[in-house]
Amino acid sequence: MRIAVAADELTGVAELVPEALRARGHEPLAHGVLAPGERSDWAWASESAARDVVEGRAQQAIVCCWTGTGASIAANKVRGIRAALCCDAETAAGARRWNDANVLALSLRTTSAAQLEEILDAWFAAGRSDEADDVANVAHVGDIEQG
């Protein structure tokens, strides 16, 4: 799977994310500080990764900044993105299952290498729920986007 990856600074797990994706057989598409010559600010980098998803260059994205909050907010401004800030494996699994999240947001400050592995394992192992209530909620999020 092709996964867009964005980070605004080379700290914490920023450089580990692409490596962890490659180890799982995924192809990372770099943005921000991970892509020489590209603007590295969190809003621009996260937007670029999110646009890769909605424009079909990537199936999912991982966006990172110091807290993960700004990266999540910026990604969620792109129509069709459902970004979830996840600090643990259970949250990541739930975001995929119940929210059909297509962008994982991570904090460079609080995510350890061990947590990264657990979060990625849970994220990729979880599938979208087919339960009627969950499907209806995700559809409603799309309706909200339409205004």
Confidence of residue 147 (pLDDT cuts 50, 70, 90): confident
Extents of the domains making up the chain: 2-146
The type of residue at 126 is A
CA Rg value for the chain: 14
Q: What is the pLDDT of residues 24-80, one digit of tens each?
A: 999 999 999 999 999 999 999 999 999 999 999 999 999 999 999 999 999 999 999
Q: Can you state the angle between helices 113-125 and 89-99, rounded to 10 degrees?
A: 20
Q: What percent of the chain has pLDDT over 90?
A: 98
Assign a CATH topology to domain 2-146: Ribose 5-phosphate Isomerase B; Chain: A, (3.40.1400)
**pLDDT greater than 90 at residue 146:** no
Burial letters 42-58, b for 16+ CB under 10 A, else e = bbbbbbbbbbbbeeeeb
In this prediction, residue 63 carries a pLDDT of: 98
Angle at 7 between CA 48 and CA 87, to 5 degrees: 110
pLDDT at residue 102 is higher than 90:
yes
